[in-house]
Amino acid sequence: MIRYRFLDGTEVFIEVDRPDQKGDIQFVEGLITAEIRGYLAEAYGAFGHSLGTYAMPIDLNAAMVKDKRIKRFRPELVEGAELINYTPPKGVKT
């Protein structure tokens, strides 16, 4: 799982076990949930495609650290760093 928390208590997460899995973008409700949900629907992933309602960990991370509308709310990665800092073993193609 990869999870981000905002100062107001809003959380955004994807329930996945591997960096190459897609999952529905889910929320723990807070004061800014509707705003964040709207921004994520329009945000772009790591390779320039729009997110919509589902994403891979690297794409959710890209939106959190690059989208200025989201970034101003200071999302904090609280779970799943290993899913975005993944390096495949030597000889394994991803």
DSSP string, the chain: -EEEE-TTS-EEEE--SSTT--EE-EEE--TTHHHHHHHHHH-B-TTS-B-TTEE-HHHHHHHHHH-HHHHTT--EEEE-HHHHS--PPTT---
Contact (Cβ atoms closer than 8 angstroms) between residue 28 and residue 6: no
Q: Quick check: is 10 in a domain?
A: yes
- Summarize the confidence of residues 30-37 as an average pLDDT: 95
Within a domain: 72 = yes
Q: How many domains would you assign to the chain?
A: 1
Predicted structure pTM score: 0.88
pLDDT in tens, 35-92: 999 999 999 999 898 998 999 999 999 999 999 999 999 999 999 999 998 666 676 5
Task: Decide if 92 is inside a domain.
Answer: no
pLDDT for residue 86: 67
The whole-number pLDDT of residue 29 equals: 95
Nearest Cα neighbor of 33 from 54, 1, 9, 64 is: 9
Per-residue confidence (pLDDT) for residue 85, from 0 to 100: 83
Q: Is residue 93 part of a domain?
A: no
